[in-house]
Structure 1
Amino acid sequence: MTRAVLMYNLDSEKGRKIKMICLKMKLRIIMVSSGQYLEPIGSLAGVSGIEPAGTVYEGNGFGDEMLVFKGFDNGTLDRFLRELKASGAGKVSLKAILTPDNVVWSSLELYEELKKEHEALNS
């Protein structure tokens, strides 16, 4: 499985630093736009067998930064997080690994789930 990072709302200096980490680690970079928020995450990540919904999202979406990791094992994730910290890019609070459960979720569904988890952990 090709390793990739789906990036949301990271068209910034922080996003540039994250892209540099991805290039250094030979990770595929996938910039997700708000119009793609209804597509299954697996489709955006290029997972075979996950078909695109073909629906363009026209709502307000979300403004929080989010990263989704495809094909990462524990070592790769640990290295990425170390590189992120060392880069001085700053924190991205909403992060997820692509799983058999969330591969069919839309970006909006994953965002809502991560937001709930983040709030529960930080309350």
Structure 2
Amino acid sequence: MWGVYPSSSSSNTDEEVLSDFTHRLRTTVSRVHYSKRGEPLFVRHTPSSKRTKGGGGDRTDPTEQIKTIHINPFYQGKIKGKNVVVVDDCTSYGVSFGVAAALLGRHR
């Protein structure tokens, strides 16, 4: 399964440039069809603070990320036992991937 970690102000429409790239990559190199276009794996229910370009905040603290994102209910029961590829546009301190791993770990 493939999933994109959403931007800090994601509209959850699965139309971000990275989402489009990931869907194209997934369908080109993989026969896995668990991901559905228009149904992002992660849903951001509240915008998170921008922590880049002088936005401030502790970039190693996952608290706000955990409070503003969840697994899309569409995938409830569909990701158990699956391998998940998470794509993000940037990795600095690994907070996004830590949060993603924690959320996905709940659905094992």
Higher fraction of helix: 1
Q: Which structure has the highest strand share of the two?
A: 1
TM-score scaled to structure 1, two decimals?
0.33
Per the normalisation by structure 2, the TM-score is: 0.36
